[in-house]
Amino acid sequence: QVQVVESGGGSAQAGGSLRLTCAASGPTYSRYCMGWFRQVPGKEREGVASIHTSTDRTTYADFVKDRFTISQDSAKRTVYLQMSSLKPEDTAMYYCAGAYSPYGLCSVIEPDYNYWGQGTQVTVSS
- The CA dihedral of 69, 98, 2, 31, to the nearest 10 degrees, is -80
- Could you tell me what percent of the chain has a pLDDT over 90? 94
* Contact predicate 81/97, CB 8 Å: no
**Mean pLDDT across the stretch 82-109?**
96
Q: What is the pLDDT of residues 43-94, one digit of tens each?
A: 999 999 999 999 999 999 999 979 999 999 999 999 999 999 999 999 999 9
Beta bridge partners of 7: 21
